[in-house]
Amino acid sequence: MIDMDGVLWRGDEPIAGLKRFFAFLAEQSISYVLATNNASKLPEQYTAKLAGFGVEVEQQRILTSAHAAAAYLTDIAPPGTRVYMIGEEGLERPLEERGFVIDEDGASYVVVGWDRHLSWTKLATAALLINAGAGFVGTNPDTSFPTERGSVPGNGAQLAALEAATGVAPTIIGKPGARMFEQALRRLGSTVEETAVLGDRLDTDIEGGKRAGLATILVLSGISGESDLADSSTCPDLVCADIAELTSKWEKAASQ
């Protein structure tokens, strides 16, 4: 179970060793799912981005918190339910594909994903609906997002603003929540004992992996750094600078 932002790339820049990493997975017949808390993009956008870096990945290997959120709503609300959404196309399409109507009028749920066009009006509309009794769902709790320029506010920051305004805590779908890990295991057809999670965040990837009983691998190429690791009670099973170092360790182990 592999995270993408901060693990495979930062912004529009691939992490060193990307092609070699995927080549090793193929050579060793290691099955994987690319599971991201980023709800702003569609699976085909991720596969296109990887293709631009010279790596071919099938769309069915992509799992986003947006798809997990849409699946969650399907379990608790019938098709045709009105939903107010803060987010981008990566969240809008999965909701519509599940039969939900994106409309603030009479919305029964407010679903919030990362929105690079966030406005006061969107936050105000969401807050009013939540205060009126609409269910409050967040795709993921990441307070920051890694870019080539550094960390910027993530969906968790948006959720915090709404929680502060309403006093209502959202139902979180993405990592470290169990739902993302359960869906990833189903896609892989694997057991907890034979699966690892690879990520760049102690608070989502690694903490969630620990809770799920998976082996955990932290790379320091994204959000969490050495100082975070030193201050955290969450201890990964393996720590590497990036996927290039991880691949080297794996290759060495495979040759022995």
User: Residue 162 to residues 127, 135, 234: CA-CA distances in angstroms?
Assistant: 6, 12, 28
Task: Considering only CA atoms, give the Rg of the chain.
Answer: 18
Give the CB-side neighbour count of residue 251, counting CA atoms within 13 A: 14
State CA 5 to chain mean position distance: 9
What is the end-to-end Cα distance of the chain in Å, rounded? 25
Question: Measured between alpha carbons, how far is 26 from 231 in angstroms, rounded to an integer?
Answer: 36
36, 140, 229, 238, 252 from 39: Cα distances, Å: 8, 8, 26, 27, 36
Helix pair 155-166, 120-131: axis angle to 10 deg: 50
The residue annotated as part of the active site, out of 3, 115, 203, 205, is 3
Q: Kindly state the helix (H) or strand (E) to which residue 41 belongs, with its residue range.
A: none
How far apart CA 169 and CA 145 sit, in angstroms, is 21
d(CA 192, CA 190): 7
Q: How far is CA 168 from the centre of its chain?
A: 22
Annotated active-site residue 75? The verdict is no
Q: Which of 106, 113, 77 is nearest to 92 (CA)?
A: 113
Write out the catalytic residue numbers.
3, 5
